[in-house]
Structure 1
Amino acid sequence: MKHLNYLQYMGRLMLCAAFLLGLAGFTNGCKAQEGQEIHHCITHYRPVSSWEKVADKDKVTILGPAVVNQEQMVQYILSRNPNPKLNCTLEELVAYYYEEAGSEGVRPDVALCQALKETGFFNYGNDVKPMQNNYCGLGALGNKVPGYTFYSPQRGVRAHIQHLLAYATTEMPKKDLVDPRFSVLVEKYPHYRGAAKYWPDLNGRWAVPGTTYGQDILRLWREARQFHEGENDLNKALEAAQRQPDEMVNWERVYGLAYLEGNYEVAVLSIDHILKLDKKNINAYVQRANVYREWGYNEKALADYNAVLSLDEYNYAALSGRAYLYASIQENRKALADYDALLNRNPGDTVALYNHGCLLADEGHYNEAMEDLAMVLNLDPDNEIAQQAVDDLRAYLKK
């Protein structure tokens, strides 16, 4: 593999050898099935975009009080869908969320935003139907599998909240258990139990690969918070940019504020204006690609990354972003090729090393994966994520 160039460059560090000696003999007994199960057995073994597991703006806990009141949530939902498909009034459903989530200590307003994401603001249109009272896709696994049906809206809300509890805490629900997937998660995936403190921690757990699942929920929550509020900094910046549309600095400010707030629509709008003013602005293409990737528009993100790389074959930001996108959608071979290119140019990139190791493990190359992880720890001895991955992989291979 090209990847060996940077290992030779780093001198086959002693730490790598120590790890490999400890693993000798285990790999031969590994089955192909282990490679398929490793995502379920090793909770920390997923590619990362950076060592900040959750951005500061997204450190919103699943457990906690509501910030947005019921009336404002109702008005926000109606602004996006005047005719929600429900088996009760919208006011009643919102009240159920505040009652059920509030009694269990889950944030009612954010849980409701998760339902909005799952149902498309109660428009539905996918496998789950309105009559099911299933607001979070419980049991809906794709391929026209509709998931569970609950006999009342309140019971469907309770099941949603209880399923969130299974991820957010090890405590049992206070009310009678109605979530049919609760025991499945507890018994089959005990490592997920209580593993999600923040909403983005649901990425790759609740939704697979779901790389921006939690962030998307929080984006809706921020929109609800700002609904009918007075003029904020983003609005002022947007108005200033619209008054002077040929001033690039104005659109750059709009982008910065919009991206910080998770307002991806305005962030893309601002980048579009920047590119009208400067069609060869490589940084703008990368920024828009990153927004599209976080927003879940993978094809658009890939097009922008490829546009940059057609202009600058070794653009590190675009190559890194594309590699992470490929890894997130499980295009492992393409991701490995990009990470090889990154590591040949910068052997000390610990994020690329870690992700390369994740992908190698997923492909069943456990010894080579451990080389990568050992290198990360040599370069960054206090890296808790890499250390946990090493410990998990070693324990997994001993089974």
Structure 2
Amino acid sequence: MKNLKYVQYLGRLILCAAFIVGLAGLMSIGEAEEGQEIHHRLTHYKPVNSWNKVADKDKVTIMGPATLSQKQMVQYILSRNQNPKINCTLEELVAYYYEEAGDEGVRPDIALCQALKETGFFKYGNDVKAMQNNYCGLGALGNDVPGYTFYTPQRGVRAHIQHLLAYATTRMPKKQLVDPRFMVLVEKYPHYRGAAKYWPDLNGRWAVPGTTYGQDILRLWREAGQFQGEEKDLNKALEAARRQPDKVEVWERVYDLAHADGNYEMAILSTDRILKLDKKNIAAHVKRADIYREWGYNEKALKDYNTALGMDENNYAALSGRAYLYASNQYTDQALADYNLLLILNPTDTVALYNHGCLLADKEKYREAMDDLEMLLTLEPDNDIGKQAYEDLMICVKNK
């Protein structure tokens, strides 16, 4: 009997030990997954071009009724892209947004503007393809990861609206759940549920860091409401420029209106005219470089930035633009060199501090990166994007 009890006791010890080892293994797996998640966030931080805080004019709620009609939205989209790459008619797609968003209480016109931003007015061109019916980049993480595919346009619209709902409210969708990321957000990021009341609240949440993400969506929405008036103003400015083609000021007016309207071709044309009149106009070189960069013509942008810096090696706008171009295209060493110079010229430039820190983190120089982010948070204690990056770096340093 004694031997039997001893065996039973030994068996319990073995089971207990196995449980502890298994629990430790699960904890290790959990820690590893957390580490991978943190590492993923750090390596996917995108450079910041500027900090745009939520102004009163940007306090437009995600939930609410449409203020623009379906017809207005169709006309606006066609003014920017005559041949949208979609798997139904444009009128049908717009109607799906108004139906799906309207049923959930999300603003249909602004949700559609988010799709315009994500797809480049349905021109696509990045990882997500038109055949996927994925209008908001769900699951597209970059590095040739295309994200999810939805078998009908309406289903893709519904998934988009449901994902917005996950950020804007704490309730479940009214219709069948088709967003594959909805429960991921609910379970892994509960602090994001209902955290986005206004569109700019998506900054740093939907898009990382996405410092102007929500503002960009609202800019498109405002353009949709008044693009016909802006078009008339631009035409008037062009008429004035044709009457006085040798005046730099009139072409600067054309540039301002064209850039505000997203008319990149006319913005480039106006800077070309300015530089034909004044080859040493550094501001025009920088403006043209900025447009080329936004448009994706990186080599042309770099040439203009270099020309401007050849005339003034410490020109802050040109240096900032080139640093951002390098950082956006993962030329880390060149970007670090430019941000080093920017921080010599202005040690309190919080945008440069953030980007310099994230670039150092990409090179796994976490402690040096933390120095930059500590300085950023000293200057701007309420900078949420800086706080998130700093917390991630703290975890990385702790796990080293």
Short-chain TM bin:
0.7 to 0.9
**1:259-303 deviation line (CA, Å, top 9, x unaligned):** 445544443332222112111111111122233334444443322
- Is 1:163 the counterpart of 2:163? The answer is yes
Normalised by the length of structure 1, the TM-score is: 0.73
Where does residue 96 of structure 1 map in the other structure? 96
**1:24-49 deviation line (CA, Å, top 9, x unaligned):** xxxxxx99x95983452799x65433
**1:279-338 deviation line (CA, Å, top 9, x unaligned):** 111111112223333444444332221221222222222112211232233332221111
Instruction: In structure 1, give the amino acid aligned to 2:38.
Output: E
SS in 2 for 1:49: coil
Q: Distance in 2 between matches of 1:336 and 1:230?
A: 39
Where does residue 40 of structure 1 map in the other structure? 41
SS in 2 for 1:173: coil
Where does residue 372 of structure 1 map in the other structure? 372
Q: Distance in 1 between matches of 2:120 and 2:256?
A: 27
Q: Distance in 2 between matches of 1:331 and 1:170?
A: 41
Instruction: In structure 1, give the amino acid aligned to 2:41.
Output: H
Instruction: In structure 1, give the amino acid aligned to 2:290.
Output: N
Contiguous gaps of at least 5 residues in structure 2? 1-30
Instruction: In structure 1, give the amino acid aligned to 2:317.
Output: A
Where does residue 328 of structure 2 map in the other structure? 328
1:1-399 aligned at under 5 Å gives the runs 37-38=38-39, 40=41, 47-53=47-53, 61-80=61-80, 86-119=86-119, 121-122=121-122, 132-139=132-139, 147-188=147-188, 217-218=217-218, 220-229=220-229, 232-379=232-379, 386=386, 389-391=389-391, 393-394=393-394, 397-398=397-398
**1:204-257 deviation line (CA, Å, top 9, x unaligned):** 765678787666655544443234448654443333223222111112223334
Deviates more, 1:318-327 or 1:55-64: 55-64
Q: Distance in 2 between matches of 1:377 and 1:87?
A: 47
Instruction: In structure 2, give the amino acid aligned to 1:367.
Output: R
**1:27-86 deviation line (CA, Å, top 9, x unaligned):** xxx99x95983452799x654333434688766554443232111222333455556565
Which one has more relative contact order, counting CA pairs under 8 Å at least 6 apart? 1
Residues 47 and 209 in structure 2, CA contact (< 8 A), matched pair in contact too: no
Where does residue 9 of structure 2 map in the other structure? none
Q: Distance in 1 between matches of 2:300 and 2:59?
A: 27
Q: Distance in 2 between matches of 1:145 and 1:109?
A: 28
Instruction: In structure 2, give the amino acid aligned to 1:104.
Output: E
Change in CA separation of 1:70 and 1:166 when aligned onto 2, cut-off 3 Å: same
Name the % identity.
76
Deviates more, 1:375-384 or 1:150-159: 375-384
Q: Give 1 or 2: higher helix fraction.
A: 2
Residues 57 and 260 in structure 1, CA contact (< 8 A), matched pair in contact too: no
Shift of 1:376: 3.5
Shift of 1:155: 2.0
Q: Distance in 2 between matches of 1:148 and 1:334?
A: 35
Change in CA separation of 1:172 and 1:148 when aligned onto 2, cut-off 3 Å: same
SS in 2 for 1:238: helix
Instruction: In structure 2, give the amino acid aligned to 1:115.
Output: A
Where does residue 18 of structure 2 map in the other structure? none
Q: Distance in 2 between matches of 1:120 and 1:47?
A: 20
Deviates more, 1:139-148 or 1:270-279: 139-148
Q: Distance in 1 between matches of 2:390 and 2:75?
A: 48
Q: Distance in 1 between matches of 2:82 and 2:231?
A: 24
Shift of 1:104: 2.5
**1:183-204 deviation line (CA, Å, top 9, x unaligned):** 2344455566556566566677
Q: Distance in 2 between matches of 1:173 and 1:186?
A: 12
Contiguous gaps of at least 5 residues in structure 1? 1-29
Residues 84 and 121 in structure 2, CA contact (< 8 A), matched pair in contact too: yes
RMSD: 4.1
